[in-house]
Amino acid sequence: MSDRKPATAVLLAAGLGTRMKSSLPKAQHPLAGRPMLQHLIESCSAVFDRIIVVVGPGMEALEKAARPHTVVVQAERLGTAHAAMQAAGLFGEGDVAVLYADNPLITQSTLERLLATRRTTGTGLALLAMRPADPARYGRLVTRPDGEGGETVDRIVEWADASPEQRSIGLCNAGVLCAEARRFAGWLAQVRNENANHEYYLTDVVALAASEGAQVRYVEAPEEELRGINSRAELAEAEAVIQRRLRLRAMANGATLVAPETVFFSADTILGRDVTVHPNVVFGPGVTVGDGTEIRAFSHLEGAFIGERAMIGPFARLRPGTQVDAAAHVGNFVELKGTHLGAGAKANHLAYLGDATIGARSNVGAGTITCNYDGVSKHRTIIGEDVFVGSNSTLVAPLSLGDRAFVAAGSSITSSVPADGLAFGRARQETRADRAIELRARIRKEKR
């Protein structure tokens, strides 16, 4: 039985993200349909035993996004070391890593390497580093040989304070630190705010650890994974990274993406095997697609469950609460909301079906709508099995059509129809011989 003590991840999420020019906290901005904070939580949950999230005052929505993990509030924004100190009383006795919520692309494997490096004999403090194509204003890692064929980090020099020689260093700080809880808390307590901004900086922990003789080692990872998000442009770049990952995952799991670069997923999208997704399809949050289903071009799906061997689109819209059963068809310019389309049922053209239950093998004709809203409340339409609804029909809810009912094209149906019933709900047609000649003559005369 292992006697290893629990490891804790502290996620700093109190930043306002001034450069985002938004009323949302930075960590609440969405990537692939969920707040960026939740992406980092997902990676950390696979590696660490506990997660603590540090937020700023008035960030109730972000606190909700952090649930069920522990949340502490940094009442005053006095710097990153100060933010980490707010969680120091919860560090416990194992290893602690401090991460930034605006670094949501860090993978599980990188965090595992970080923790393994910290637990290597003699490593007092481990950190993440990268070699960006453009080091720009990143802090540089000043290192020296450790006598064992590797390197130890002496300090991090911020770009503004670096000499020309130090600015030429390609190895840059990614901001993530990991150490034994007691030592980490001690170093945090020693950080001072003797700088131009009078803030307590987490990076000062590196020099403090080195000054005490602690072995400081770094774990290098790709820039794509460690980049921070501080602007809308960087948010878009991060979205592109996550979408590439999600597309590769979908294809590795057995889905065909005809034009992968045009398909956009949410982080929780689930595709079965032998699913085919055509170009320009968007998956919002909460979509599951069964094996063998085909999603045709220009469709938008959100909060929907789709069974096996179904056909969706092109140009279909599935809104939250929709369930499409096996072998059902949802065709071009058909919108479903809160609707259950039974096995083998079809709505192939130009329809709105809201708050409806449609039985197996029923056919809904082009131009059909369920009138589900009366201006105050939503009402449900229940359509049985093997029902035929003719084109351009209006079904005024609440309403039910029994099994095998038949609704004539162009009908406005306001009363329920029994099983095997035939319903007409349209005005009687009148035809007047030769009146078209008279009508055209009058129109031409009025046009002069």
Annotated binding residues for Mg(2+): 102, 230
What separation, in Å, do the N-terminal and C-terminal C-alpha atoms of the chain show? 99
Distance (Å, whole) CA 218 – CA 142: 11
DSSP of 391-405, one letter per residue?
TT-EEESSEEE-TT-
Q: Is 340 tagged catalytic?
A: no
Q: How far is it, in rounded angstroms, from Cα 33 to Cα 231?
A: 18
- Could you say which of 29, 69, 349, 379 is catalytic? 349
Binding-site residue ranges for UDP-N-acetyl-alpha-D-glucosamine: 12-15, 26, 74, 79-80, 139, 158, 173, 230, 319, 337, 352, 363
Cα–Cα distance between 107 and 42 in angstroms, integer? 9
DSSP 327-344: T-EEEEEEEEES-EE-TT
The two tokens of residue 275 are 């699913």
Report how far residue 159's alpha carbon sits from residue 135's, in angstroms, rounded to the nearest whole number: 9
Q: Within 10 A of 159 (CB to CB), how many other CB atoms are there?
A: 14
Please count the CA atoms within 13 angstroms of the CA of 220 that sit on its side-chain side: 11
Whole-angstrom distance, CA of residue 6 vs CA of residue 354: 49
* Residue partners of 237: CB distance under 8 A and separation at least 6: 227
* Whether the bond into 35 is cis, omega within 30 of 0: no
Measured CA to CA, the distance from residue 415 to residue 356 in angstroms comes to 15
What residues are designated binding site? 12-15, 26, 74, 79-80, 102, 139, 158, 173, 230, 319, 337, 352, 363, 366, 372-373, 391, 409, 426
Catalytic residues: 349
